[in-house]
Amino acid sequence: MVVVGPTAVGKTDTCIKLAQHFKTDIVSADSRQFYKEMEAGTAKPSQEEMAAAKHHFIDSHSIEEDVSAGTYERLAIKQLDELFDEKKYVILTGGSGLYIDAVTMGMAEMPKIDPSIRQQLNEELDENGLQPLLEELEKLDPVYYNRVDRNNPHRIIRALEVCRGTGKAFSAFRKPAAKKRNFTTVKIGLDRPREELYERINLRMDQMIEQGLFEEAKDFYSYKNHNALQTVGYKEIFDYLDGLYDKEEAIRLLKRNSRRYAKRQMTWFTKDETVKWFHPSQIGEIIAHIEAVGM
């Protein structure tokens, strides 16, 4: 079973309840929770939550490693094959739609691109900033432009190097490959009313700050160009450390960009018509739906 939804909606708590009911494990598809060095800014399950249900792909890699969707696909399928040898159900969960799709449907092969194109793009980023690259991406690939985290230079450059190198939209290569899997999938989506969700996002960000998010980002400053750290929750603090704005503005941007990220997540997930949506409080209805589908 797959459980998706925006940040702070309540996926962890729901998945633990499902894991306990179905006596199974949880496989994380959260592209930031893989990294063991990242704590305050990733909302990983607590030690108590990890003890309540076995989790996989939490703290499994270092930020020195780049766990792409393709890499994750290979690792996760291997893990799932092992789990299905012993269990009828396994839970795959996360807010990273691309990583969920990589496991459930597979990833198309990406074309090889001349490394000089990325070098040129990085030089343009250093010289002119991100905005001209965003404008180019919007023109060359409006589909990906509307989905991508526009505060993440690594992803913008990755998309543009493919656009420039192939003459085709990056999104054309990101379509699921419809690979044959050895399991069937039922997809559960979790959502809350907008005001309720945004309140939870703001509260989570306050908690992350109390737990040392600014201090953690400062420790990671020398790694700020690593893909794992080019995400909401760290980039805003790196810009604050670079003197682009004060701490109060950094906190405002952290909350605003987290809300925007949640909106993009929902845009991605709601396009999948196979997802059945519930409020996290409807755990009984979720269980009944899974059992009715008869996976």
Confidence (pLDDT) at 189: 98
- Sheet arrangement for strand 26-28: 55-56, 26-28, 91-94, 2-4, 187-190, 275-278
Query: Model's pTM, two decimal places?
Result: 0.84
Domains of the chain, earliest start first: 2-107+176-293 (3.40.50.300), 115-173 (1.10.20.140)
Q: Could you tell me which of 18, 13, 20, 23 has the C-alpha nearest to residue 45?
A: 13
What is the helix (H) or strand (E) element at residue 270, kind and residue range? helix 247-270
How confident is the prediction along the chain (295 residues), in pLDDT tens digits per residue? 999 999 999 999 999 999 999 999 999 999 889 999 988 888 899 999 999 999 999 999 998 888 888 899 999 999 999 999 999 999 999 998 889 999 998 877 778 899 999 999 999 998 998 999 999 999 999 999 988 878 788 889 999 999 999 999 998 887 666 688 889 999 999 999 999 999 999 999 999 999 999 999 999 998 887 877 878 889 899 999 999 999 999 999 999 999 999 998 999 999 899 999 999 999 999 999 999 986 5
Dist CA 210 CA 206 (whole Å):
6
Q: Which residues contact 5 (CB under 8 A, 6 or more apart)?
A: 11, 95, 189, 190, 191, 265, 269
Confidence (pLDDT) at 176: 62
Single-letter amino acid, residue 286:
I
